[in-house]
């Protein structure tokens, strides 16, 4: 049977949607496709037509075989046909984007993305209730949303807040992003419930290295995926600029202090302009911190001038690194300042990838422009020679950093393949930072979906890391309370935890993973059980989403879902969003909806007032299952230093591998009896957390021998990007 | 007399334009301001109202004192009042932006910029004849214009092409940008002639260092100036990303070649995927260059594999540097690759500021997406150990670079203070590159203004550098022929050339510059005469624009204009655009219009087929007035190398100081009898020029002791930027 015949015979199917080239769109066709019955509530044929560039769409009843024949006679290939399987009297006044399933056997993500014409972003913005003056359009498919919306909707009750987390993953990832996108596609495009996905913006560097894109995949993607994966609306570029301005200011200041007398420094810092010296606002603020209350620069004593002009940065304590959004391994350790003009003041330092910048973490945690400015000013870049913290504010650069970040603070609106709204905003590292998208995007989305709507956001890595930080760091910063946790698992990852062979990126999977093996699955569910228990410590209901692969057997799928339910999950359902879009995640959507009405006993894991060591120990024991922690002397000394500097009451952001519950990536399942070694402790004071290092964290990925860019190309005629995946 | 009384009595004044807060905009006011006569062709009161955010504007006749009184009674401050002094039946269907002159004594550039409400960019786009699908909006005030426009308007005749160049400047700059903007404001807003300004995008780094903004100044600016000076539409960020991806690819490749056997490299470069090895398109292209015609990876001999997998980059010849758009002096000389993971393959290199990237020069010179891709592929990054050039294409990265640059190739549309259109696109260095804005922006603008319209573009530095490169490099690339050169001079710079004391940035001017001194002026006109003669060598009529300062005396102004006319300038006129906007440059606009109708005998200075040395000598002698040139051994050897590699027929881009016609910045006026030393010769093969170095060029500026950022701030409530200038 042909695909079309099968569709025609399916009783659930109400109509077909054809996508035709403009040339095929003759009056003959127009007459032939006139619908004989009301298809999906669209009675007027013209209403059903959307013209995107050179593609026309029209809805026909499934019985309209004549159309297909006519087209075939004309020699037209009907590339995409989709069945309209549900009626959607909707809450958002949505013009839905129907999913076009390709008939080609294998479609890459970018081919699927390109096969779908996104609706103009200003139309989506209107559909979800944004006013014209609340958006800033960036091209046809992206818009920034202004924070003034929060003020306008301040009396609107928030929607439900859903977190997507995962079990301990294989190095391939288990599909949290695709579940997130599939879930909102199901909620909004199929169940008629307002929803919003809030995603992290991926780093551009890895797109050209090994990883490829990060916009979801298959039929659960954010589109256009090339925009999502490349410059987007420039937020990461803004972070790079701000980060590096601060870095340049540190070294330039040190050089100037090392080569000038107090008097020369003072004359330059507070220069004579039209015969007068004046402190700038940021200099007055510094004077105040120094306890100098004078306003007239002429009246400072030599001692006060000395205090004012000298930051006395101890260069051995500088923790602020430069960043670049490129996988550039040769910048992992470098020596700077070797030109003659820098007079011998060279030092060793490093570049990190841009998303590792503390400014990214600040963007993700901030609640307003003034809060962001304050956090930027509080960034500690080093200690001075007396052991006191030196901040961005001390360098006089707070305002400039805020100016560079003024647009980045606005979340970017995009859409899923099925035309439902997505915010893309902030993408901090999940080890040295907290790995969650922005507080502001979540807050805006919770207002926009309304009381009955859902906001689905994702936490990086496994639940032991991303989710723990979501609760203890992000929710603390936002004051928001999550309603449901969706825990993503795959049969593949469970088999690995059950003792299956190593899973290595780029190497074909061993047969244990492609053939049914109930023993491995059931053994591996220990990790699932542990992650469910972790979630339950926070008092939020958990739904297991089993991301189904083609090779998973029905028995394996049933087994996982049964174990999950026995382990305390509110529900456990298989998901087929990758191959089916939102339709494949409807069961999950229903489960999430029910779970959101459960009683919610949300609580943080630890009290902020506890000593730093105590907080680390609680996370290690209660989350990771460690017996205890062990601090290196360096870690102990840093903890003492931060405590003494008054930073002891910040939350903790563990920098630990995501490949095991323990610190040992090779230990799968549920490791026990280990002592978690804390090698060092650092702080992101502006972002507002202390981050203990459990092992070495790579903050600069490299390019492999054959980077992705060998396959990436631009067609100069169509302007289409090829080879992203 | 009050300002309003004076305006009311001025017979030239037809009406007043009030700008009021929305709150003051009551029905009482509405009735009171109803105009009693036709003001500027706007009969309907509602038509005259434009609402920009919270500001309302209305036109009232100057006699409507009642309005002013009413407002004052209400306690409303009438912040800005402008007289509508001219009627403009227009060619573009323009809704003009009236200039609001501030009553405050001194307004900074950003205050003037902010005082003017830009019209929404989609309205400007419509006014100048762009179709909706030809623009990509970036917020309210910027839009990218698609290159498809060139195809649509290919039969439209080009407008007139005007280049703004300058005499040898002081370190303060003599106002080429403000003349450019003033001139288009005069042409379009006052003389009703379609015009377009095409400007370079400034580097963001210096905005926070010493320089401040570069959007023009006073009442001749591109607005909003903070957008112009900061991220704009991300083009420089895209260049940074592309430049650094190529840099990372070089070092990573070298490392991989140094640490792997031929076989291991081959297995990774042409991996087994689903049991098969396949060359990618870019690998097949490389095979072809190597003379290997095999398509099946299995059939290569060991020798062919060796040729294919090894670029054998001679790291001592790498000329490709990393870039960052920050003034970061500590990156002028650095050692990279010092982490253990790089296995000892460290080397010394440097970061340049982003706009110094060859990719910026490519962007400025390219004519289409496919041309850009080709140029990116041709970039030579080093020689191999056999002395042959290694290109970006050899590294397999051409497509990825093109993908990163796909949006940057579209010029950005903005507007002047008077609402006339501006393209901002590309900003290559004027020493190691050619210092001119993009060919594509000029081409698009020449179509958009129509046959009778004018496109005004600017060349960096003095005419001896920027203009020479404009003619010999940019016009050669574009095939466009300029109609008029506007040569900008100031009394200040002429006095310096006449023997006046040193002019130093940041130090108040000596009295020679603030008091009349005809002797210094007349002596200094030697430089003006020389620059006019330089222009005449290219066969294009030249108009002198004397950028008038408050301290210039009428006698000084007359003297300069007289000398210029005697020296062969078509005309010479004083300009007051800084304080008066387009109204202050109307005389210049008239002169340019007449000059554009003169006969044009445009010719290049040298034949490309001449040997490199010969071309350098022609520029040195005919333009700079040097007796001869002197090549260092390094320079001679590089010339031999480039000639042997087949790059001998490229145009020459001299990297010379702009502060003197000679290579010695302190030699003012017209130095003679000097021998120009060429210390080294480099090449930008992708951009398409050879650049001889005359002395050392700084490609990374630094931060001073008190950088601009001390004054830069963001008001978190209004989102306004403060302290940019």
Please write the tens of the pLDDT for every residue from A535-552: 999 999 999 999 999 899
Return the pLDDT at B240: 98
**Exactly one of B308, B461, B570, B647 is catalytic; which is it?**
B461
ipTM: 0.87
Decide if pLDDT at B412 tops 80.
yes
End-to-end CA distance of chain A: 32
Taking a C-beta distance cutoff of 8 angstroms, is the pair A199, A113 a contact? no
Could you say which of B370, B405, B440 is where a domain stops? B405
Could you say which of A348, A381, A405 is where a domain stops? A405
pLDDT tens readout for residues B115-128:
777 888 988 888 78
**Cβ neighbours of B313 in A, within 8 Å:** none
Low-confidence winner among A13-17, A137-141, A495-499, B351-355 (lowest mean pLDDT): A13-17
- Whole-angstrom distance, CA of residue A626 vs CA of residue A623: 8
Helix, strand, or coil (residue B224): coil
Higher pLDDT, B36 or B663: B663
A174 and A43 housed in the same domain:
no
User: Which residue from B minimizes the CA distance to A698?
Assistant: B341
Distance from CA of B356 to the nearest CA of A (A): 16
Q: Which of B256, B402, B406 sits opposite A705 (nearest CB)?
A: B256
Higher pLDDT, A580 or A20: A580
pLDDT tens readout for residues B60-76:
555 555 555 665 565 54
Residue B262's domain is classified under what CATH number?
A: 3.30.1510.10
Separate counts of helices (H) and strands (E) for chain B: 25, 30
pLDDT band at B81; cut points 50, 70, 90: very low
Low-confidence winner among A487-491, B96-100, B146-150, B478-482 (lowest mean pLDDT): B96-100
B287 and B341 housed in the same domain:
yes
In sequence order, the 6+-apart residues with CB closer than 8 A to the CB of A390 are A311, A313, A380, A381, A382, A383, A384
**Cβ neighbours of B705 in A, within 8 Å:** 256, 260, 265, 268-269
B200 a catalytic residue: yes
Across the interface, whether the CB atoms of B338 and A335 are under 8 A apart is answered yes
pLDDT tens readout for residues B355-394:
999 999 999 999 999 999 999 999 999 999 999 999 999 9
The length of chain B is 725
Distance from CA of B662 to the nearest CA of A (A): 25
Return the pLDDT at A568: 95
Measured over the CA atoms of residue A334, residue A340, residue A341 and residue A342, the dihedral's sign is positive
pLDDT band at B665; cut points 50, 70, 90: very high
Decide if pLDDT at A259 tops 70.
yes
Return the pLDDT at B207: 87
**Cβ neighbours of A327 in B, within 8 Å:** 248, 252
Q: Which of A136, A249, A331 sits opposite B139 (nearest CB)?
A: A136
Return the pLDDT at A110: 75
Decide if pLDDT at B641 tops 90.
yes
- String of DSSP letters for B634-665: HHHHHHHHHHHTT-TTS-B--B--SSSSSS-T
- Whole-angstrom distance, CA of residue B40 vs CA of residue B303: 80
Decide if pLDDT at A206 tops 90.
no
In sequence order, the 6+-apart residues with CB closer than 8 A to the CB of A257 are A265, A309, A310, A311, A312, A313
Size of interface A-B (CB pairs under 8 A): 275
**Cβ neighbours of B140 in A, within 8 Å:** 136
Return the pLDDT at B155: 83
Taking a C-beta distance cutoff of 8 angstroms, is the pair B99, B118 a contact? no
- String of DSSP letters for B172-221: T---HHHHHHHHHIIIIIIS---EEEEEPPPPSGGGGTTS---SEETTEE
Task: Please give the average per-residue pLDDT across A1-13, as a whole number.
Answer: 53
Across the interface, whether the CB atoms of B369 and A133 are under 8 A apart is answered no
Helix B586-596 and helix B176-184, axial crossing angle in degrees, nearest 10: 80
B114 a catalytic residue: no
A584 and A441 housed in the same domain:
yes
A274 and A377 housed in the same domain:
yes
Return the pLDDT at B110: 75
Q: Is A304 exposed, middle or buried (0-12, 13-18, 19+ CB in 10 A)?
A: middle
Chain A contact probe: residue of B376, B397, B403, B407 with most A CBs at under 10 A? B403
Average pLDDT, chain B: 86
Rounded percentage of chain A residues whose pLDDT exceeds 90: 68
Q: How many domains does chain B have?
A: 4
Low-confidence winner among A299-313, B60-74, B139-153, B685-699 (lowest mean pLDDT): B60-74
B412 and B401 housed in the same domain:
no
pLDDT band at A211; cut points 50, 70, 90: low
Judge whether A698 lies within some domain.
no
C-alpha to C-alpha distances, A151 to A73, A135, A147, A447, B711, nearest whole angstrom: 58, 14, 8, 10, 30
Across the interface, whether the CB atoms of B265 and A705 are under 8 A apart is answered yes
Low-confidence winner among B151-165, B336-350, B618-632 (lowest mean pLDDT): B151-165
Return the pLDDT at A81: 37
Residue identified by tokens 């606005």 is A410
B278 a catalytic residue: no
- Whole-angstrom distance, CA of residue B215 vs CA of residue B177: 7
Low-confidence winner among A458-472, A578-592, B37-51 (lowest mean pLDDT): B37-51
Report the phi/psi class of residue B13: left, alpha or beta, with left for phi > 0 and alpha for psi in -120 to 50: beta
Taking a C-beta distance cutoff of 8 angstroms, is the pair B407, A721 a contact? no
In sequence order, the 6+-apart residues with CB closer than 8 A to the CB of A487 are A165, A166, A167, A463, A528, A531, A532, A535, A542, A543, A544, A545, A564, A569
Distance from CA of B593 to the nearest CA of A (A): 37
Return the pLDDT at A46: 36
Across the interface, whether the CB atoms of B400 and A334 are under 8 A apart is answered no
Return the pLDDT at A209: 84
> Does the model's pTM come out above 0.90?
no
Higher pLDDT, B133 or B237: B237
**Cβ neighbours of B352 in A, within 8 Å:** none
Judge whether A164 lies within some domain.
yes
Judge whether B195 lies within some domain.
yes
A412 and A552 housed in the same domain:
yes
Across the interface, whether the CB atoms of A281 and B713 are under 8 A apart is answered yes
For residue A49, what are the domain limits? 1-103
**Cβ neighbours of A140 in B, within 8 Å:** 136
Across the interface, whether the CB atoms of B280 and A710 are under 8 A apart is answered yes
Distance from CA of B359 to the nearest CA of A (A): 16
Q: Which of B330, B719, B724 sits opposite A342 (nearest CB)?
A: B330
Q: Which residues of A are catalytic?
A: 176, 178, 200, 211, 430, 461, 549, 578
Judge whether B344 lies within some domain.
yes
pLDDT band at A94; cut points 50, 70, 90: very low
**Cβ neighbours of A714 in B, within 8 Å:** 369, 373, 399, 402-403, 406
Across the interface, whether the CB atoms of B339 and A350 are under 8 A apart is answered yes
Across the interface, whether the CB atoms of A706 and B268 are under 8 A apart is answered yes
Judge whether A715 lies within some domain.
no
Could you say which of B81, B103, B125 is where a domain stops? B103
Which ranges constitute the DSSP H helices of B221-368?
A: 225-229, 235-259, 262-269, 281-289, 302-309, 358-365
pLDDT band at A10; cut points 50, 70, 90: low
Across the interface, whether the CB atoms of B260 and A705 are under 8 A apart is answered yes
User: Which residue from B minimizes the CA distance to A408?
Assistant: B231
Across the interface, whether the CB atoms of A255 and B709 are under 8 A apart is answered no
A441 and A464 housed in the same domain:
yes
The length of chain A is 725
Judge whether B702 lies within some domain.
no
pLDDT band at B96; cut points 50, 70, 90: very low
A240 and A389 housed in the same domain:
yes
User: Which residue from A minimizes the CA distance to B269?
Assistant: A706
Q: Which of B341, B406, B702 sits opposite A332 (nearest CB)?
A: B341
Taking a C-beta distance cutoff of 8 angstroms, is the pair B582, B189 a contact? yes
Across the interface, whether the CB atoms of B399 and A249 are under 8 A apart is answered no
Residue A653's domain is classified under what CATH number?
A: 3.10.410.10
pLDDT band at A264; cut points 50, 70, 90: very high
Taking a C-beta distance cutoff of 8 angstroms, is the pair A438, A363 a contact? yes
B651 and B669 housed in the same domain:
yes
Return the pLDDT at A43: 34
Provide φ and ψ at B722, rounded to 5°: -115, 150
Judge whether B715 lies within some domain.
no
Chain A contact probe: residue of B330, B375, B703, B704 with most A CBs at under 10 A? B330
**Cβ neighbours of B392 in A, within 8 Å:** none
B5 and B95 housed in the same domain:
yes
Q: Among the ranges A206-210, A418-422, B669-673, B707-711, which has the highest mean pLDDT value?
A: B669-673
A380 and A421 housed in the same domain:
no
Across the interface, whether the CB atoms of A712 and B399 are under 8 A apart is answered yes
A557 and A628 housed in the same domain:
no
Low-confidence winner among A18-32, A95-109, A604-618, B416-430 (lowest mean pLDDT): A95-109
Taking a C-beta distance cutoff of 8 angstroms, is the pair A574, A543 a contact? no
Return the pLDDT at B111: 73
Rounded percentage of chain B residues whose pLDDT exceeds 90: 68
Q: Show the tokens assigned to A31.
A: 């007459």
Low-confidence winner among A124-133, A463-472, A630-639, B21-30 (lowest mean pLDDT): B21-30
Judge whether A566 lies within some domain.
yes
Residue B220's domain is classified under what CATH number?
A: 3.40.50.300
Q: Which of A265, A325, A723 sits opposite B241 (nearest CB)?
A: A325
């Amino acid at each position: 049977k042909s695909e079309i015949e099968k569709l025609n015979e399916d009783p659930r199917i109400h109509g077909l949607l054809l996508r035709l080239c403009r040339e095929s769109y003759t009056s003959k066709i127009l007459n032939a496709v006139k619908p004989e019955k009301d298809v999906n509530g669209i009675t007027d044929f013209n209403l059903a037509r959307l013209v995107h560039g050179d593609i026309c769409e029209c809805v026909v009843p499934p019985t309209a075989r004549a159309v297909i024949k006519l087209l075939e006679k004309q020699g037209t290939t009907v590339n995409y046909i989709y069945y309209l399987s549900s009626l959607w009297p909707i809450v958002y006044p949505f013009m839905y984007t129907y999913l076009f399933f390709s008939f080609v056997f294998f479609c890459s993500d970018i081919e699927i993305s390109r096969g779908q014409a996104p609706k103009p972003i200003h139309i989506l913005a209107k559909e979800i209730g944004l006013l014209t003056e609340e958006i800033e359009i960036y091209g046809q498919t992206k818009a920034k949303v202004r924070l003034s919306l929060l003020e306008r909707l301040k009396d609107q009750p928030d929607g439900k807040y859903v977190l997507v987390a995962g079990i301990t993953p294989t190095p391939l990832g288990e599909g949290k992003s695709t579940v997130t996108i599939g879930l909102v596609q199901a909620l909004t495009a199929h169940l008629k419930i307002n929803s919003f996905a809030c995603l992290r913006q991926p780093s551009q560097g890895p797109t050209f290295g090994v990883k490829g894109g990060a916009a979801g995949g298959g039929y659960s993607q954010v589109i256009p995926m090339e925009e999502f994966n490349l410059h987007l609306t420039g937020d990461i570029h803004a972070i790079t600029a701000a980060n590096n301005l601060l870095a340049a200011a540190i070294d330039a200041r040190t050089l100037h202090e090392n080569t000038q007398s107090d008097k020369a420094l003072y004359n330059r810092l507070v220069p004579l302009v039209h015969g007068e010296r004046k402190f700038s606002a940021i200099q007055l603020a510094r004077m105040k911190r120094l306890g100098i209350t004078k306003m007239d620069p002429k009246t400072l004593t030599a001692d006060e001038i000395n205090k004012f002009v000298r930051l006395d940065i101890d260069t051995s304590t500088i923790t602020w690194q430069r960043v670049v959004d490129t996988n550039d391994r040769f910048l992992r350790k470098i020596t700077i300042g070797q030109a003659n003009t820098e007079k011998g003041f060279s030092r060793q330092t490093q570049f990190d990838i841009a998303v590792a910048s503390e400014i990214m973490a600040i963007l993700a945690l901030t609640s307003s422009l003034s809060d962001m400015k304050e956090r930027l000013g509080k960034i500690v870049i080093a200690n001075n020679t007396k052991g006191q913290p030196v901040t961005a504010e001390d360098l006089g650069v707070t305002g400039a950093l805020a100016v560079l970040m003024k647009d980045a603070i606005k979340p970017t609106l995009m859409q899923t393949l099925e035309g439902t709204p997505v915010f893309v905003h902030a993408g901090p590292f999940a080890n040295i930072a907290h790995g969650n998208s922005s507080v502001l995007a979540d807050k805006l989305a919770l207002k926009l979906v309304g009381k009955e709507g859902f906001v689905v956001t994702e936490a990086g890595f496994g639940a032991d890391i991303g989710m723990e930080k979501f609760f203890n760091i992000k929710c603390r910063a936002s004051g928001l309370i999550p309603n449901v946790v969706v825990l993503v698992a795959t049969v593949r990852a469970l088999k690995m935890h059950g003792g299956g062979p190593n899973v290595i990126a780029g190497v074909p999977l061993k047969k244990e993973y492609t053939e049914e093996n109930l023993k491995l699955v059931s053994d591996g569910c220990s990790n699932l059980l542990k992650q469910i228990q972790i979630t339950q410590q926070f008092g939020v209901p958990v739904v297991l989403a089993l991301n189904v692969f083609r090779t998973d057997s029905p028995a394996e799928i049933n087994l996982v879902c049964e174990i999950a339910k026995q382990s305390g999950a509110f529900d456990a359902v298989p998901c087929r969003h990758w191959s089916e879009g939102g339709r494949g995640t409807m069961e999950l959507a229903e489960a999430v909806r029910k779970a959101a009405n459960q009683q919610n006993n949300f609580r943080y894991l630890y009290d902020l007032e506890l000593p730093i060591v105590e907080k680390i120990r609680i996370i290690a024991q209660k989350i990771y299952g460690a017996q205890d922690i062990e601090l290196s002397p360096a870690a102990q000394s840093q903890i003492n230093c931060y405590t003494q500097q008054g930073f002891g009451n910040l939350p903790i952001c563990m920098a630990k591998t995501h490949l095991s519950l323990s610190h040992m990536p090779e230990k799968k399942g549920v490791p026990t009896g280990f002592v978690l070694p804390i090698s060092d402790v650092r702080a992101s004071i502006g972002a507002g957390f202390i981050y203990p290092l459990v092992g070495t964290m790579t903050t600069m990925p490299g390019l492999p021998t054959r980077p992705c860019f060998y396959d990436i190309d631009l067609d100069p005629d169509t302007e289409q990007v090829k080879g992203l995946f």
